[in-house]
Amino acid sequence: MKLFLDTGNLKEIQAMVPLGIVDGVTTNPSLMAKEGGDPRAIIKAICDVVQGPVSAEVVATEWEGMVKEGRELAAIDPHVVVKVPFTRDGVRATKILADEGTRVNVTLIFSATQALLAAKVGAAYVSPFVGRLDDIASDGMGLIREIVEIFDGYPFTTEILVASVRGPMHIVEAARMGADVCTCPSSVIEACFKHPLTDIGLEKFLADWAKAQAGK
Ligand code: E4P
């Protein structure tokens, strides 16, 4: 399963990419707004660092504007994936952009029917938001299970990109279900490194080694 970083923060991306575990980045208007500056310049800088798919979201809400903005975003760098919200206009814009060869990530997916419609118009990714469903006492990972089952039965090339990830167990469950991608804040990826037995084990190895060296 691929891991994407869900952030617009270049420093976070620069810190994580050298570890070799980051396959791409997703951004959204809220994340980009936090960064300030010129969003398109930031997207370009992120692409240069990541050298993998970088989702940049349109803010237009009618299809003509989405297509225009999508084309402009796609022109920033070949790694840009145009992110479009799941609306009727979003679906129409996705069809046009996908037919032109632009990769589109259809975002704000909260049901299996939405994922199916996005796949039918050629989305490269669908982004179901598991954390936001959990937040309202709905089964976020249950939605991923449904979409995996549906996509498995058809020759869609659309990848399931698990979004709105809140903790490492979302990553574990997504991988067990066979999701294609999980996009995570860097805090969630950091949490995946931690295990007290690793720390205790390393401390003991080093202490034993030091004792043996001192006794030589
Ligand atoms: C996905 O592409 C979105 O940027 C993101 O995962 C939303 O997560 P949130 O619900 O934590 O805002």
Kindly report, residue by residue over 52-93, the tens digit of the pLDDT.
Answer: 999 999 999 999 999 999 999 999 999 999 999 999 999 999
| Domains of the chain by residue range | 2-214
For ligand 1, the distance from its centroid to the CA atom of residue 133, given in whole angstroms, is: 11
Average pLDDT (46-57) is 98
What confidence tens digit (pLDDT) does each residue in 164-185 have? 999 999 999 999 999 999 999 9
Please give the Cα distance from 138 to 86 (Å, whole number). 19
> Considering only CA atoms, which residue is closest to atom 7 of ligand 1?
164
Does domain 2-214 match CATH 3.10.450.50?
no
What span, in angstroms and rounded, lies between the C-alpha atoms of 191 and 213? Answer: 34
- pTM of the entire predicted model: 0.96
Catalytic: which of 2, 83, 211, 216? Answer: 83
Q: Are 134 and 166 in contact (CB under 8 A)?
A: yes
Position in ligand 1 atom list of the atom nearest CA 163: 6
- Residue pLDDT, tens place only, 122-161: 999 999 999 999 999 999 999 999 999 999 999 999 999 9
Report which of 46, 112, 54 is spatially closest to residue 83, judged by C-alpha positions. Answer: 54
Instruction: Assign 216 a pLDDT band (cuts: 50, 70, 90).
Output: confident
Mark whether 83 is an active-site residue.
yes
Atom of ligand 1 nearest to the CA of 55: 2
